[in-house]
Chain A
């Protein structure tokens, strides 16, 4: 069974998810104020402006916090064993909920403050999940 996928129609995050098909991690900025906006939406939560610009992230950031999930009864996650969910602060200034993979033991190997880089997990839905591994 697949993990939960983004569901549409949901026009605020559709462009973000469409870009994942090309392995592009997109975020928004307000070119007038420099505000960085994430999660994606049509207006700026800082000013109400809908004059926003999409930019592509370089995909490098820092683990802000995390937890290792030992028990998730959703059938897609149950077989994974312990896995790390995390907030990662991208160097461009936005924070994304994600997974930190690519470590032998998530309980001991994931740390707050560790540098991570983007990796993609392609989904059967056609979208791709941005996840992170040690940089």
Chain B
């Protein structure tokens, strides 16, 4: 492997174990996860000097979060770009640590989307929030969030001949991983999933269509949950409990609907090459790809855009058991069970970092032997309209 800059490492991780957590608030989940992730690192509450927040803690988001936690950080970053916010935070934390602005950066996430009965995918849009040019040009036509992603799937099928059978392979691999993860099985149990077992392509195609061409089993769950990540300087990382998971590359991008643009190309096509160039590695070297699986089509487009296969060849690429953790081919994806079958409280990006770090530590429930390099790619916003992409490349020593 080429020598990379090793300016910052993930040293502490924690995933809130419950996906149905009535009676707690997002802020409480964030604080509990912060404490546990610091314990995991062997650091203490007072060590935190950088605070990164996607403004998910209602009432005390961003500005208020330092006070709620009781921190006096030297860096406060409130980047809120949807589900990829945590990849942006990891990128910024690395930059801030390298610049000497902070030494111990804390990222937290908390959500009670399931207990709040938030209809994220099928609630329809409109009439909420401030009026904007975008809301005025989108709300009246009844595009749900799922239909938004489904429009990308239809176009991908049209341009490249991609099939629902191929997309279903993503759900199948992810569920197989979930069945090995006790917290994911508990999640599906608590969220009243039917048929909590490994699934087949036929199961996916037999599930009802929510927005053509996406079936129920191609859509992520809506859960409660949260987690925390501690990122530290090399000096701090040297004395933490676990082997550091180095952040060796990062990229950030946004993409939005434009006249004549290709809707099948996501922001990953911009953020990915930047991250890989910085890391000095190629997609073909990556062992673990943690890709934001809000829907099957999200994963397919991002595998292509990150360079794991050519644009348009994602369908044949994901077919069969290639993505399964036992596959001899790289990379395997979403070994925790993903948003499809383990954890999706609305903004999944933090969990991508958590599971990538677990893999590089050797702690996954679907551990890939000898995993050395991982990519976490988060997607925020909505794929067909406006979205963000955050790519983080991670390496163990």
List the interface of chain A (C-beta within 8 A of B). Answer: 3-10, 12-13, 17, 36, 38-41, 64-74, 76-77, 80, 83, 85-87, 89, 93-99, 107, 112-113, 123, 129, 131
Contacts and interface: CB of A to CB of B under 8 A. Distances in A.
Nearest to B208: A70
Given A74-B126, A77-B124, A97 B138 contact: yes
B158 A112 contact: yes
Interface string B144-187: 10111011111100100000000000000000000000000000
Q: By DSSP majority rule, is chain A's interface helix, strand, loop, or mixed?
A: loop
Contact of A67 (B127, B211, B260): B211
Contacts of A74: 123-126, 142
B154 A67 contact: yes
A41 B133 contact: yes
Contact of B263 (A8, A65, A73, A99): A65
Contacts of B141: 3, 85, 97-99, 129, 131
Interface of B: 119, 122-127, 131-144, 146-148, 150-155, 158, 208-214, 257-261, 263, 384-385
A68 B212 contact: yes
B151 A66 contact: yes
A6 B139 CA distance: 7
Given A72-B142, A74-B123, A10 B211 contact: no
29 contacts: A3-B141, A4-B124, A6-B131, A7-B136, A10-B133, A36-B259, A38-B259, A40-B133, A65-B154, A66-B151, A67-B148, A67-B154, A67-B211, A68-B209, A68-B212, A69-B143, A69-B211, A71-B146, A72-B123, A72-B144, A73-B122, A74-B142, A85-B142, A87-B151, A93-B259, A95-B261, A96-B137, A97-B143, A97-B257
B301 to A, nearest CB: 13
A22 B211 CA distance: 33
